Every structure is written in structure tokens, then in C-alpha cells.
Amino acid sequence: MTHGKCRIAVAFCLLCALAAAEPVQTERRITALFAAEAAGGQAPNALYLERMGGMPEALRSFAPSSFVLDAKGFRLASEGNFGFAAEGTRELGRFGKVTLYALDATIRAAPTPKPGKLVRVSFRATELAAKGGILQPGGRAIELAARREKYTSGRAWIVELELAAGGEIKALVGLSRN
């Protein structure tokens, strides 16, 4: 192999290695809201909430996700690898069939892109009780923002999410058209 061909082969190998490398991930500390079905008496334990109570779904809304809004309804799907470390939960209150929790966590996900739009939405915590289960506040906020802006598909993520007085949930949602 000549010196020139060797250089080309090395360059090709480096490009292949870069293409196969893990996508860039960022780590962010957040405080999320998540919802669980209000139990009759005793509050669910932390392990249940983390593994079965919707915590991963609630946290995913803070990472870039793709969505589709069509005749079949609203669908939200995570993009790339996602991980989290829960650092503590606290019950914020019960609103009809819904118990809201605040969750401090560190998430590892793809970095959020520059939004095409930032959309503020608000809704009542009681709206999270849906047929067939409990909706998560972040996903509900993203759906409302997409509907308001008449986006049928795109990318979205939660920028801010808070529980205000009277059980009102307020959110700032980043939207982009892919």
C-alpha cells in the first residue's frame, strides 16, 4: 500500500469511528411534575413511583421528543437515549382522581434544539384524569401547545412546568417543525 492510499484508509477509518460514536447527550437538573392516581388511603412508596408510577414518562417530556397529531390522536415519542436519576419526590396535593408530585431529578438526553416557538399553556390538574389512566403533565402541556399552534408533527420539550394556586398547571413548551 502506498503512502497516499494509507492516508486515505486511515482517514476513512476515522470517519467511520466518528459516525458510529454515541450521539451527544447533556445532563440537566430539573424539577418535574408527575401525576399518579390518587390512592384511597396510603401514599404509594418511592420505589413504586419510580418504576411503575409514570416517573420515566413524566421526565421524558423535558427531553426533545417527536410528536404526531392526527385523526388517531396525539402521540409523543422520545428521541435517542434517555436516562435519569431521581433525587427525591414530594407530594404537592390531590386534585380529584389525581395526586401530583414534584420530582427533583437529573436527566441525560439529547440537547434541546433552538425552538421555532415557545408556547405558554395552562390547564387544571383535574384534567389529567383521563379514560384509561392518568396523563402526565408534561405530555399534556406539549399536546395543548401543538394543538394551539396547529402543528401536526414536529419536535417538542418542556422548558418550564409548575403547579400554581388552585391546581392550575402552567408550562412553557419549546416547539420546532423537525
Q: What is the pLDDT of residue 16?
A: 47
Amino acid (one-letter) located at 30:
I
Q: Which residues of the chain have pLDDT under 50?
A: 13-22
Closest C-alpha among 110, 144, 113, 115 to residue 127: 144
CA atoms within 13 A on the CB side of 133: 8
Q: What is the pLDDT of residue 140?
A: 95
- Rounded to an integer, what distance in angstroms lies between the CA atom of residue 53 and that of residue 59? 12
Q: What is the pLDDT of residue 80?
A: 81
- Rounded to an integer, what distance in angstroms lies between the CA atom of residue 167 and that of residue 70? 29
- 76's CB contacts (< 8 A; 6+ apart) are 61, 65, 66, 67, 139, 142, 143, 156
CA atoms within 13 A on the CB side of 49: 25
CA atoms within 13 A on the CB side of 136: 23
Tens digits of residue pLDDT in 155-168: 999 999 999 999 99
Q: What is the pLDDT of residue 2?
A: 65
Compute how many other C-beta atoms are within 10 angstroms of the C-beta atom of residue 51: 9
Q: What is the pLDDT of residue 156?
A: 96
* Coil vs helix vs strand at 52: coil
pTM recorded for the entire structure: 0.80
How much is the CA Rg of the chain, to the nearest whole Å? 20
Q: What is the pLDDT of residue 27?
A: 84
Q: What is the pLDDT of residue 28?
A: 81
